[in-house]
Structure formats: C-alpha cells, structure tokens
Amino acid sequence: MIHLTEEMILAVRDREPVADEVLAHIDECSACARALEDARSRAEAVEQALAALTVPLRMEGRAETPEVHGRSDVAAGAGAQVVPIEPGHSDGPAGTGARVVPIEPGHRDAGPATRARRSVWSARWLGRAAVLVLIAAGALSALPGPFNGWIPRTFSGGSPLATPISPAPEPPGQVGGRMEVVNGPVLVHLENVVPGTVIDVRRVAGRAVGVLAATGSEFSYGSGEVRAAVVAGPVTVELPDGVVPATLIVNGATYLVVDAVGMEVTGPTSVRSGESLVTFEVPN
C-alpha cells in the first residue's frame, strides 16, 4: 500500500479539495489516519497558543491603573506628603491638624497598588514568553518534512529511537541501493521473504532510505517508497533519521512504524545485533 504524502495529509486537515480516493485511503490506512490526527493535534496546539495573545498588553495595563484628578496615584504623590502636627499650628489648605512638607525625589513609597501592578506585569511577561516558545515549537512541528522529527513532543507510546549511525558499506554477498527522500512518509516493502530470514533495521544519519539483500534480489524505487523482492537473507533496512513517518512491511504485514515520538514494533523480533534499531526474524 502506498501512503499519502505530507502535503496530502495537510490538505485533508485544512479541508482543501482532495480526490475521493484520498479520503477513502485514510479510512482504510491506519498509518495515514494516525498521521492526519497528529497533524490536527499540532494545528490545534498552535491555535490555542495564538488565542492567548489576543489581548494587547497596553490595554490591560491601562484598564488597571486608577486616575486621580487627571493624574495617576503615583504622579499625585510625587513631591509631597501630608503629616500630622499639633493642633492650632496650621491654617493651610490641608486642613486643621496637618501641614504639607516637601520630600526629596526618589524617597517616596510607590504604594501597595503600584507594587501589585509590577508583580502582575512580571507574571504576564513570563507567561507571554512561555506562550511564544510554545508557538514557535508548534509552528515548526506543523510544517511538513523533517521538522516533525526535530521538535520534541509529549511521548505517547512506543520506544525511544536509537542514535543514528553512518550508512554501512555493502557486505559481501549483498546488493541493493539507497534513495534520497525529501520528507515523509517513507515506506519499505519486503516481498517474498522466506521464513527464518533475519531483517536488521538501522537508523542512519542523512536523508537516504536503503535496502540490502542477497544477490539476485530485485529492487524498485518510487516517491518515498522502496520495494524489494528478496531471494534470501540476511536483509538490512536503513531508515533515515529525521524523516517520519517510516513504515516497514514484510510479506504484507506491518513490522515497524517510526514516527516523531518513537517507534511501534509489531513484527516478530529477534536478538538485536550491534547498532541495530531492531532485528526481526520472519516466522514459519
């Protein structure tokens, strides 16, 4: 089965006109349905983060600053304070029992209201900074291509991925090839694999997907897809780091699905060898 490209997945997510065959494929293919749900989740996270920035900061601060006779409370007390004195010693405008005494600039108390506003502003700026970080991460993860694998997200199942290695040279007695891919999904089909064949899956650096098998095996390459008619084992499958999702199908059965958060192993595993991501042995 050929999976939908990332562009098709995003088109379905954004409700753009697509062929009926595309929608039918999503209904039948669990891998593409999972990719569509993942794209919708990323878009929803970005939308929620953007909604938190709809209220301007200046409008919030203005609404909470009281006015006193056309001036703020801070400005009203900038140069003087009222102190009590003994009765009978003042006829000033401040009233009986009080006199106006000038104070030096910079020695007044801003007051509890001003201190509270400063605390609120500090909390708001920290919150805005956190939201901006979330928006940047969500926007990158919503883009097609390798960005999906570079943005860490909440782990939702499967196993963590191993560190990528360099592609190995072809061992004696094995043939095959490698194909450069731009973005996911990547699909590897192994056909006519006899029972007992060992399949070694590796995660390699770069953007090339490759399959190596015994001499006499036949290979075909398409858009993000490699097919191999295997005559004998062992078989080596190289999946590129940062290009997801990647799926391995053996004799029509899904053995492995790798996405941005980990991998899901559904095939019959064997003892892992060397730097392998996972090793399978085809059952009888």
pLDDT of res. 77? 44
Tell me the pLDDT of the chain (284 aa) as tens digits.
567 777 788 888 888 887 888 888 888 888 888 888 888 888 887 777 777 666 555 554 454 444 444 444 444 344 444 445 444 444 444 444 444 445 454 444 545 555 555 554 455 555 556 556 555 555 554 544 434 433 433 333 344 444 444 455 556 678 888 888 888 889 999 999 999 999 999 988 888 899 999 999 999 988 889 999 999 889 999 998 878 899 999 999 999 998 888 888 989 987 766 678 899 999 98
Count: domains in the chain: 1
Within-domain flag for 236? yes
Instruction: Determine the Cα–Cα distance for residues 177 and 213; give it in Å rounded to an integer.
Output: 10
Q: What is the pTM of this model?
A: 0.43
Does residue 8 fall inside a structural domain? no
| DSSP-derived secondary structure for 129-175 | HHHHHHHHHHHHHHSSSTHHHHS-----SSBPPPPPBPPPPPPTTEE
Query: Residue 276 falls within a domain, yes or no?
Result: yes
Residue ranges with strand state E in the chain = 67-68, 71-72, 80-84, 98-102, 174-180, 186-191, 198-204, 208-214, 218-221, 225-229, 235-240, 246-250, 253-259, 262-265, 278-281
Identify whether 103 is part of a domain: no
Kindly state whether residue 48 falls inside one of the protein's structural domains.
no
d(CA 38, CA 43): 9
pLDDT in tens, 163-220: 444 455 556 678 888 888 888 889 999 999 999 999 999 988 888 899 999 999 999 9
Establish if 229 belongs to a structural domain.
yes
Residue 182 belongs to domain spanning: 174-281
Identify the CA nearest to 50 among candidates 139, 140, 154, 116: 139
Residue 202: inside a domain, yes or no? yes
